[in-house]
């Protein structure tokens, strides 16, 4: 599985790092074959909302060449969704099977048209901003609708990473990663309280 992590100026790094820390264990544990990741941005270097500068592996790659595309949130998402150059690039992810966001990264998925007819979530401060882009905003830490995964605010990135592992690999691997992260809050198999349960059609 080839994963693209989209980075941009002003992003909230915790949105990205929690998910990245969890899902990268799939490769470390060899729980799935050929797992790799690429840091992608619209410029060679980006600086987050606290001043941390990060280098991109690839600038403006075709996101459709990846199996999974991940979008973090941050205040700039509110304006980036109207930036046609940036959104044209995000729309290249149409061919990626899995589309994932944390926090207001969902606004970018929505503005790209990827949440049309789907249930989704975002940071609680942006529920009203997300509503026009999706069928229903779910007030939850993690939501799956088909092959689209969205997480709530900031720390839900860890939950979403573990949830994705459970969905795409298996529960045992998710629990093993949870133990290695020493993260006691994820509740495997108890989706009704924290997560929106995905139902097979």
Report, as residue numbers or ranges, the catalytic residues.
103
3-class SS of residue 153: coil
d(CA 83, CA 176): 40
Neighbours of 95 (CB within 10 A): 12
Of the candidates 147, 84, 92, which has an alpha carbon nearest to the alpha carbon of residue 115? 147
User: What is the arrangement of strands in the sheet containing 142-145, beginning at the earlier edge strand?
Assistant: 58-59, 36-41, 2-7, 68-71, 98-102, 148-151, 142-145, 195-196
d(CA 131, CA 120): 9
Tell the residue number behind the tokens 């693209």, with chain if given: 4
The neighbouring-strand residues paired with 4 are 38, 69
Angle of helix 13-23 relative to helix 171-181, nearest 10 degrees, comes to 120
Go through 108-118 and write b for each residue having 16 or more CB atoms within 10 A of its CB, e for each that does not. Answer: bbbbbebbeeb
């Amino acid at each position: 599985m080839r994963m693209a992590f989209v980075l941009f100026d002003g992003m909230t790094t915790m949105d990205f790092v929690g998910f990245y820390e969890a899902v990268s264990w799939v490769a470390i544990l060899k729980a799935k074959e050929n797992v790799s990741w690429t840091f992608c941005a619209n410029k060679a270097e980006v600086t987050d909302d606290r001043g941390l500068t990060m280098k991109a592996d690839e600038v403006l790659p075709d996101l459709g060449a990846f199996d999974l595309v991940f979008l973090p949130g941050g205040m700039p998402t509110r304006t980036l969704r109207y930036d046609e150059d940036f959104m044209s690039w995000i729309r290249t992810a149409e061919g990626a099977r899995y589309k994932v966001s944390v926090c207001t990264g969902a606004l970018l998925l929505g503005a790209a048209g990827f949440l049309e007819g789907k249930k989704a979530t975002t940071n609680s401060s942006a529920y009203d901003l997300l509503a026009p882009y999706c069928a229903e905003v779910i007030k939850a830490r993690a939501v799956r609708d088909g092959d689209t995964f969205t997480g709530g605010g900031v720390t839900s990135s860890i939950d979403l990473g573990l949830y994705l592992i459970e969905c795409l690999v298996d529960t045992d691997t998710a629990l093993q990663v949870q133990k290695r992260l020493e993260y006691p809050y994820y509740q495997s198999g108890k989706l009704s309280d924290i997560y929106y349960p995905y139902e097979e059609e």
